[in-house]
Amino acid sequence: MTTTFDVNAQTVGELAASMPLSIRVFEAWKIDYCCGGRTPLTDACTAAGKSVDAFIAELEALATIPDAAARDWSSDTLAATAARIVTTYHAYTREELQTITPIAAKVQSVHGERRPELAEVVSLVAELTTDLLPHMLKEEQVLFPYVDQLEEAANGKRVAPTPFFGTVKNPVRMMMIEHDRVGELLARLRVVTDDYTPPESDCFSYRELYRRLTDLELRTHEHIHVENNIYFPAAVALEDRAGQPNTFSDGCGHGCNH
């Protein structure tokens, strides 16, 4: 694989969006490409004890593996991206948190006396649930429908809807703050569980809990990346094009159709 631009000039979020394969490297190197997407690649590699040359070598190696590439979200419409976020990530997250919660409680009840960190695992899973469920609902009921209508207006050169929240930048800012909070909870879970390493002698439920938490972390990182680095910037740019009031002009200056 030959890179067509200077990766040294990119942030990790830009790379994750334009080169989805890089997500695999970021996950392996524990580089935060979702909430920390604005970090320059050079700084992120240095903090991970790696070099940019090693990063490029990892990408080239991954490119030789069939079907290794992650999905390229940047080519979708915003409406398609929102719909895919709901079906790919929101549905999974709701179901997985519902599954993980009783498993965590069971493991803590059986092994908590010898493994006191399990009490914090149960608490952190509860906090994730409390934060993520209303967060996703707000996106589905408020943010995504508004951006869908804005995109329809842009395509049809009609007057765009006027949101009660003033500008899309307001819910986007709140969503990103909430993403940061979720990122902190996931980082704490990884520390508490010693990188999701269960005791070798313990039961299937213990191993299953940590396996599911590992997968939840990966999928949530991807989820936040798609929103922070692809969907949100595109939604803000779309609204900025509309101007104030939100009117997409066809060239006559009045937003009318001919």
For 226-249, letters b (16+ CB in 10 Å) and e give: bbbbbbbbbbbebbeebeeebbbe
3-state secondary structure (DSSP) of residue 255 = coil
Confidence of residue 249 (pLDDT cuts 50, 70, 90): low
Tokens of 129: 């649930």
Confidence of residue 68 (pLDDT cuts 50, 70, 90): very low
The share of the chain scoring above pLDDT 90, in percent, equals 54
pLDDT score at 98: 93
CA distances for 58 relative to 25, 39, 90, 199, 220, angstroms: 7, 19, 30, 31, 23
Mean pLDDT on 214-226: 92
Note the pLDDT tens digit of each residue in 232-246. Answer: 999 999 988 876 545
3-state DSSP percent of the chain in helix, strand and coil, to 5: 70, 0, 30
26 touches 34 (CB < 8 A):
no
3-state secondary structure (DSSP) of residue 234 = helix
Q: Is residue 74 scored above 50 in pLDDT? A: yes
pTM across the whole model: 0.77
211 touches 238 (CB < 8 A):
no
Phi, psi (degrees; rounded to nearest 5) at 51: -115, 160
Which residues contact residue 185 at a Cβ distance below 8 angstroms, ignoring those fewer than 6 apart? Answer: 124, 127, 128, 131
